[in-house]
Amino acid sequence: MPDSNHNADLPNVVVIATGGTIAGTAASGDDGVYESGKVGVETLIQAVPEASRIANLTGIQIASIGSQDMNDVVWMQLAKELDRALSDDSVSGAVITHGTDTMEETAFFLNLVVDSDKPVVLTGAMRPATALSADGPLNLYNAVAVAASTKAIGHGVLVVANDSIHGAREVTKTNTLTVQAFESPNMGLLGALHYGTFRMFRKPQRRHTTNSIFSIRSIEELPPVVVVFAHSNMSGDLIRAAVAMGARGIVLAGVGNGNASNRAIKAMLDAREQGVVIVRSTRSSSGAVLRNQEIDDDAKGFVVSDQLNPAKARVLLQLGLTQTDDVGVVQDYFWTY
């Protein structure tokens, strides 16, 4: 890995690029219309020479996609490449550049399948590389600072954006446009940054990385799991369609306490009879869905998502179904991860 610019006194950090706005380009600095994933990893690294003063950076390009196109195949590649990189004793940590839209899902997936306590930091940008006041360069610099530091060891996979350090389990995208696009609604931040200097406030309580039973070394593919969004006048049609297309799990983005219309609940019970695992999550942006609140989960055989939003509940259910479809065991995963 070492090249002519290698500085033996600095930590080595791998930068794995997947695309997103951080690598996006527009026709001019004030153009909000842009294409994701146009700039390669070497250009991204060269655009932030300050980052190469805090770590030796090695770039790996995994994909060049907007994260709306992120999928299980890229996840497998990404997690296996990350696992390989972190197994190298000379590597201190990794940064993954990623579109912001589904960053929280990829972060949570990696948090559960990567078997290393070295810092893994996802970052991205809300403004393309060519924009006025692009936010990507400082986000990348900050992400490298965290990935290079022993202070970030053992905190699970992190998301760094806009001077904040979030945990993979809690972080969610809460704004479609502004640079302050991420929050951790139930728990708050894990740490805060100021031009690469940072403090960690706490460690995540739930199991992750080296403490997780899921491992990328034993997973080749993930089972089909879909999210169905609840709303007024909801029928059971989409739940029946999910079963017909072969879903092994369905996450309900329920109203309030993870609820849905009688017709939808009836379709969920029919799905259960066919062995489909049902997880009740919520479309509300904070709080938890707990067992037997409004709905008798014990009698119906449903699982509740605790604090995981529907997108993250989908990730844990996919991983859970690689091990079992026993709803008691799956429920335990939702209490512990």
State the catalytic residues.
21, 100
Return d(Cα 170, Cα 107) in angstroms, integer: 10
Q: Are 72 and 98 in contact (CB under 8 A)?
A: no
Q: Which of 190, 23, 181 is nearest to 111 (CA)?
A: 190
Residues 262-321 that bind ligand GLN (CB under 6 A): none
Q: How far is the CB of 20 from ligand GLN (least distance, A)?
A: 4
Check residue 329 and report its DSSP letter. Answer: H
Give helix 262-273 / helix 237-244 axis angle, nearest 10°. 20
Candidate list 11, 13, 16, 21; residue touching ligand GLN; CB under 6 A: 21
Told to check if 67 binds ligand GLN by CB under 6 A, we report yes
Residue 186: what are its φ and ψ, rounded to 5°? -80, -30
β-pairing verdict for 25-26 and 91-97: unpaired
Q: How many CB atoms lie within 10 A of CB 4?
A: 4
Q: Are 327 and 277 in contact (CB under 8 A)?
A: yes
Residue (41 or 55) nearer to ligand GLN, CB: 41
Stretch that binds ligand GLN, among 66-74, 134-142, 202-210, 317-325 (CB under 6 A): 66-74
Stretch that binds ligand GLN, among 3-11, 56-64, 97-105, 132-140 (CB under 6 A): 97-105
Candidate list 15, 16, 20, 85; residue touching ligand GLN; CB under 6 A: 20
Residue (123 or 305) nearer to ligand GLN, CB: 123
Told to check if 66 binds ligand GLN by CB under 6 A, we report yes
CB contact set of 49 (below 8 Å; sequence gap of 6+): none
Told to check if 123 binds ligand GLN by CB under 6 A, we report no
Return d(Cα 18, Cα 39) in angstroms, integer: 10
Candidate list 78, 82, 95, 101; residue touching ligand GLN; CB under 6 A: 101
Residue (104 or 170) nearer to ligand GLN, CB: 104
Q: How far is the CB of 236 from ligand GLN (least distance, A)?
A: 31
Structure tokens at 227: 């999210």
Q: How far is the CB of 19 from ligand GLN (least distance, A)?
A: 6
Told to check if 36 binds ligand GLN by CB under 6 A, we report yes
Q: How many CB atoms lie within 10 A of CB 259?
A: 17
Told to check if 136 binds ligand GLN by CB under 6 A, we report no
130 annotated to a ligand binding site:
no
Told to check if 159 binds ligand GLN by CB under 6 A, we report no
Told to check if 124 binds ligand GLN by CB under 6 A, we report yes
Answer positive or negative: Cα dihedral of 93, 97, 98, 100: positive
For 167-230, give the secondary structure using H, E and C: ECCCCEECCCCCCCCEECCCCCCCEEEECCEEEECCCCCCCCHHHCCCCHHHCCCCCCEEEEEC
β-pairing verdict for 91-97 and 158-161: unpaired
100 annotated to a ligand binding site:
yes
Q: Which of 238, 217, 250, 231 is nearest to 325 (CA)?
A: 250
Q: How far is the CB of 289 from ligand GLN (least distance, A)?
A: 26
Candidate list 14, 26, 126, 268; residue touching ligand GLN; CB under 6 A: 126
296 annotated to a ligand binding site:
no
Residue (100 or 282) nearer to ligand GLN, CB: 100
Total site size for ligand GLN, rule CB under 6 A:
11
Residues 237-256 that bind ligand GLN (CB under 6 A): none
Q: How far is the CB of 15 from ligand GLN (least distance, A)?
A: 16
Residues at the site binding ligand GLN, with contacts judged by CB under 6 A:
20-21, 36, 66-68, 99-101, 124, 126
Which residues define the annotated binding site?
67, 100-101
Which residues define the annotated binding site for substrate?
67, 100-101
